[in-house]
Amino acid sequence: MRRVITYGTYDLLHWGHIRLLQRAKALGDYLIVALSTDEINAFKGKEAYHPYEERKAMLEAIRYVDLVIPESEWEQKRSDIINYHVDVFVIGDDWKGKFDHLSDVCEVIYLPRTEGISTTKIKADLEQSHKKV
């Protein structure tokens, strides 16, 4: 069984997220999503609209996702790869080169982001529409 892992906040779930998960799953037989906890988001200076448990429930409902685990610290990636017997680490290409150090324990793949959609864009669009009202 070929295991794949990816990481993210997955806030304001959108079709770009779904495409990323679909492409990640296509690289193996079993997809693990390490979902950023509210605490790690706060550490990174981010705040998700939905709390961790709600984001986790949404991801678990997606057919491409086999397991959701918490990402509670930035440095856990190597131990996750080893503990979950991961073959492929997948992340968006905006992180290109940042995780090459993991290539000694698994294959590292950077997938292109879906053009025209992101959580940042959704938040900006919502903020702009509220200003018009």
Side by side, which strands form the sheet with 67-71? Answer: 67-71, 30-36, 3-8, 88-92, 107-111
Distances (CA, A) of 42 to 8, 45, 91, 115: 14, 5, 21, 27
As averages over each run of 10 residues, the pLDDT of the chain (133 residues) reads 96 87 97 96 88 97 98 95 98 94 98 74 68 67
Q: Which of 25, 46, 96, 123 is catalytic?
A: 46
Look up the pTM and report it: 0.88
Residue 87 φ then ψ, to 5°: -100, -30
3-state secondary structure 17-74: HHHHHHHHHCCCCEEEEEEECHHHHHHCCCCCCCCHHHHHHHHHCCCCCCEEEEECCH
Q: Which of 44, 96, 121, 123 is catalytic?
A: 44
* 44 catalytic residue (yes or no): yes
* 25 catalytic residue (yes or no): no
Under DSSP, the state recorded for 132 is: H
Instruction: Give the pLDDT confidence score for residue 130 in this predicted structure.
Output: 66
Instruction: Give the pLDDT confidence score for residue 62 in this predicted structure.
Output: 97
